[in-house]
Chains A and B, each alone.
Chain A
């Protein structure tokens, strides 16, 4: 069966000033699958993630060569609307940064930015997004409460709801569980399993068990190169590269 490729990178190099952070990354990201990026700190996995929604551009002095495609459009092409790209490629960060406003306003922020003004429409989006993020039952009676009073796990799910409210096609997650306790982490992983039926997910994680549990594909990064990319079981059971094996068996990292 032909695999549907949602995003792909071709010969992607990334530089911060004189420092090269990524070397020749070629990756196919399959639709409705979870792709995990693993590797030691500073290996370039987060940089790669951030080049998928052009968030690297916020750093002064960063530039790329090579190409990244979303469906069939090259996202670094001149004339590409970054706003449209980021609507389609949402991102969940390591630290859940809820805005200092109510739970409702946090979720409604994206849709409002993109021009939805009608209250009934917003109400519906907020409700649907919170339900999809498995948060609705916990917060439905206090939507007007300040979001920063929620627990860390709830905040992370609120951030996911905020991303879902923009109706993305791809969701990038940058170590989304690193600040969460084990129970919240388990809930997040359940959520990822549900979300992948409707979205394409790329997740950066430090936690190898997590990568093995949630992902279909895994890429192993080292010193800015992607050493290995394969189906997750394959990569964990029969790593082709001995560095991969060293890393997943905990010999370094």
Chain B
């Protein structure tokens, strides 16, 4: 039937087109930001502190603030997330109500918009715990936000470790914890690291939650008790208040570079996982 043939061709064309559009959009965004931002990038922009609210100077304090926030939030969320995953996969009874509750919580947390985390962090950490606008408040808020991501990926990584490894280890007289520590976690580590890197990327890009909890101070943050402005927040302020579009694009460019680098790391550890054969 000629009708079906034409229909099939049209469908193939449409599918091809949609794939093309996706690539086009990505290239347009990255291309435009590179085109607009590259002109701003030099050592001064990276190394100098912002002056006149960011209208002049560089973005050094926001880079430091971003690194501070992401590293600290990951340091809090990683043990929590991996611990949760180990509990769910290795200790909790599969049908137990508690395991169901934890999984449901993680899923719900993952679906909450980040501005809600920001509001919660603002009320709880900034005001109630009197941490003020600080790296502590920001990191704790980000940690809660990325915790489900880390849990989920760690769960999958642990689940993919063959059951035979556990049986063999236990049959050799190893305790459950020895088996987890010496066999399960080493075999799952590439997957766990991938999850952490994804979480890192999410934390770096986060604006709303950080704006409400770490503040917008342009000073160089020294201790975690200091307020800080992350690169994403800085970009938002620069663009929103019309301070300097060139600098906004310069910041955007650096964020994208950072994220691409992190994605590259995630892919690398993924391929490591497949090399080890799980």
Contact = CB atoms under 8 A, between A and B. Distances in A.
Given A93-B164, A97-B162, A58 B170 contact: yes
A86 B276 contact: no
B172 A97 contact: no
Contact of A99 (B93, B175, B183): B183
Interface string B214-240: 000000000000000000000000000
B168 A97 contact: yes
Nearest to B161: A100
Given A55-B171, A83-B173, A87-B173, A97 B165 contact: yes
Contacts of B267: none
Contact of A86 (B165, B171, B183, B187): B171
Contact of B170 (A55, A101, A148, A159): A55
Contact of A90 (B164, B171, B175, B182): B171
Interface string A86-121: 110011010101011100000001100110000000
A66 B161 CA distance: 34
A53 interface: yes
A53 B171 contact: yes
Interface residues of A, number: 25
B114 interface: no
B17 interface: no
Given A100-B277, A148-B277, A110 B172 contact: yes
Interface string B154-193: 0000000010111111111111001000110011000000
A159 B187 contact: no
A114 B173 contact: yes
Interface in B86-125: 93-94
Interface in A28-86: 53, 55, 58, 60, 83-84, 86
Interface size class of B (residues with CB under 8 A): 20 to 34
B167 A93 contact: yes
A203 interface: no
A113 B171 contact: no
Contacts of A163: 171-172
Residue of B93, B166, B172, B186 with most chain A CB atoms under a 10 A cut-off: B172
Given A60-B94, A113-B182, A148-B277, A99 B165 contact: yes
Contacts of B170: 55, 58, 86
A157 interface: no
A166 B173 contact: yes
A8 interface: no
B276 A100 contact: yes
A148 B167 CA distance: 17
B277 A84 contact: no
Interface in A206-225: none
Given A60-B93, A95-B164, A159-B168, A84 B276 contact: no
Contacts of A110: 172-174
Contacts of B171: 53, 55, 86, 90-91, 93, 163
A166 B172 contact: yes
A115 to B, nearest CB: 11
10 contacts: A55-B170, A99-B183, A100-B186, A100-B276, A101-B186, A109-B182, A113-B178, A114-B173, A162-B168, A162-B172
**3 interchain residue pairs of minimum CB distance:** A97-B164, A91-B171, A86-B173
Interface of A: 53, 55, 58, 60, 83-84, 86-87, 90-91, 93, 95, 97, 99-101, 109-110, 113-114, 148, 159, 162-163, 166
Given A87-B172, A110-B174, 10 more contacts: A60-B94, A83-B173, A86-B171, A90-B172, A93-B164, A100-B187, A100-B278, A109-B172, A162-B172, A166-B172
